[in-house]
Structure 1
């Protein structure tokens, strides 16, 4: 394009309305506005900048160039050295003699900018997002109408940025709420709902040569610990158990807290090795829940949890049914432990609890 043709205000406003009506993103709005700004001002380069205030950098986000002067997208410069900052500080947003007005602006001189027009782009609260600019390598006078169009376009862009930021904030909040709904507040493990959803997903996409292994873990004698030392100590024990479970997981495994003193673990293995893998998983879980736990108010030598592990059949279709089977296997393991203790009881019970000695300085 060798020249720009001015169009009637009614035609310009019609094009503006069409641009706004079809714009759902900042880019979709900004690019046609840059074209309209060229038409309104007769300046061959128009561009939108974004300010990274913490970094002190101004960058060209979108640009439209039609003749010799080229303002490249992605070009950035220290905020203090830019024409936008000079114009904002001076309150002077148009000049057709940049060299005389801001002779210390090296970037303007290197680009060959002679005529410069800008308007700050601000949010509803006054936050400065950047600037909307038009430039030429020739001296060109501007009408008041052209300057008014620039201000209007900058306002529309600021509103679009506000909308996108609000939408991003709402999406983030929604994601946080969704994550909270699937996460146990005490241990930060997935909760029962998250576990069942993951089981359903795995069952729906199962492979015939792969088997889903489900483990149900019950912390025996947890209530006496909770009652004796309080809920804070009980929460600390749960959190430590959760950390131990995380450390023993393999890639693709999942641990979840599914009840007050209950956890579950999902694993997958080749079906031909699944029975052996289930036994190994049970032993690892028993080991992970057994040992000494250092809490703020006590040292607890804990004999470990009761663990039930099952291998899902190839035609299994219900996550809840599988979890119920794992729970039944855990109950069987719990009864077997109690029967063993009746034959050879421990002198002090299954959970040996010691007070933590105070530190004497």
Structure 2
């Protein structure tokens, strides 16, 4: 037994996953009991099923990993209900279990695995088709092992929850919480990646700055909640007209940023920051499409408001040595040209 406890201690110190812990545990239980199968199950009480997660089989009787059986037919449930965790008279005691009859189980030991709140997570079991003498204190030993496994499972669940929370925090750090769009940081990171990719592929990059004219008046006339609703509605309309590879993000306030891959560059295009030709035509068409998407009626604070559209400047740039700030500045200049022209009319 000292050797078993030493092996258990070593497994606990080195195991990083439930797989790394349970395989040695099942081997130890096999050594202690001499039974043909030792296995760990999970139990879904909502679905009323028991699932064999891990199994070790050393004889003719096999408990297959992945086996799922109705919880009500299991020896584990009968053992818990009766308060009898071990027996070598399975067929006489629980002969109504189809699974036990099909497998020919005569000797059986199990211990429940529960979390800190006492909820049943699964069972740790040993079974044999032979009628074997059950070692003394086996019930207590199995429960000790089951408690160790339960603690490990809870630790693993906690780690998974922490990882999920960290992933969520990372996502929030790159997301504008109002619109659900990428925020300034995310857009700058993606723009830097897109520029580097465009250098390698000798292609242009499309960049657009979107400024919502009249946004202050909407806030003043209908309230800040209506302003927020307007921002969300505009972001949805703009998103609906994007290509698969395009990105739309919110820079802050009433300003949005569009970025996306452009057409391939010709030899002359690499000498200028803003590209004309085919890339310029694509930028102009995209500018018109984005502008048209913002025009229309919006329901704000229970009223229908007609909106003439945003000021949008889209340029196709040759990436060269341009930084994200550089290309956004080029699109910003184009946006202000559009804004001045709109005011003149």
TM-score when scaled to structure 2? 0.93
CA contact (8 A) 1:229 1:297 kept: no
Matches within 5 A, 1:1-361: 9-206=1-198, 207-272=200-265, 273-339=278-344, 341=345
- Could you tell me how far 1:317 is from its partner in structure 2? 4.3
Q: Distance in 2 between matches of 1:84 and 1:274?
A: 69
Contact 1:99 1:114 in 2 (8 A): yes
The question of whether the paired residues in 2 share the 8 Å contact of 1:196 and 1:319 is answered with yes
Residue 252 of structure 1, CA deviation = 0.7
Deviates most, 317-326 or 164-173:
317-326
- In the alignment, is the contact (CA less than 8 A) between 1:209 and 1:270 conserved in 2? no
What is the distance in 1 between the residues matched to 2:71 and 2:313?
Answer: 63
How far apart are 1:79 and its partner, in Å? 0.8
Shift of 1:105: 0.6
Unaligned runs of 5+ in 1: 1-8, 342-361
Match of 1:350 in 2: none
Instruction: Tell which deviates more after alignment, 41-50 or 317-326.
Output: 317-326
TM-superposed CA distance for 1:314, in Å, is: 3.0
CA contact (8 A) 1:47 1:60 kept: yes
- Looking at structure 2, the residues matched to 154 and 107 of structure 1 have their Cα atoms a distance apart, in angstroms, of 22
Structure-2 separation of matches of 1:249 and 1:99: 67
Deviation readout 1:204-233 (Å, 9 max, x if unpaired): 333333221110000011101111110111
- CA distance in 1 between partners of 2:193 and 2:78 (Å): 58
Q: Secondary structure at the match of 2:252?
A: coil
**SS, match of residue 125 in structure 1:** coil
Q: Take 1:126 and 1:324, find their aligned partners in 2: how far apart are those partners?
A: 60
Q: Secondary structure at the match of 2:165?
A: helix
Mapped to 1, the partners of 2:325 and 2:133 lie a distance apart of 75
Output one character per residue of 1:226-251: Cα deviation in whole Å (capped at 9) or x when no partner: 11110111111111101101110111
Compute the TM-score of the two structures, normalised by the length of structure 1.
0.89
- Aligned partners of 1:222 and 1:118: how far apart in 2? 68
Give the drift of 1:70.
0.6
Separation in structure 2 between the aligned mates of residue 115 and residue 237 of structure 1, nearest angstrom: 70
Residues 40 and 149 of structure 1 are in contact (CA less than 8 Å); yes or no, is this contact kept in structure 2?
A: no
Task: State the shift of 1:300 in Å.
Answer: 1.3
Paired residues of 2:222 and 2:300 also in contact (CA < 8 A): no
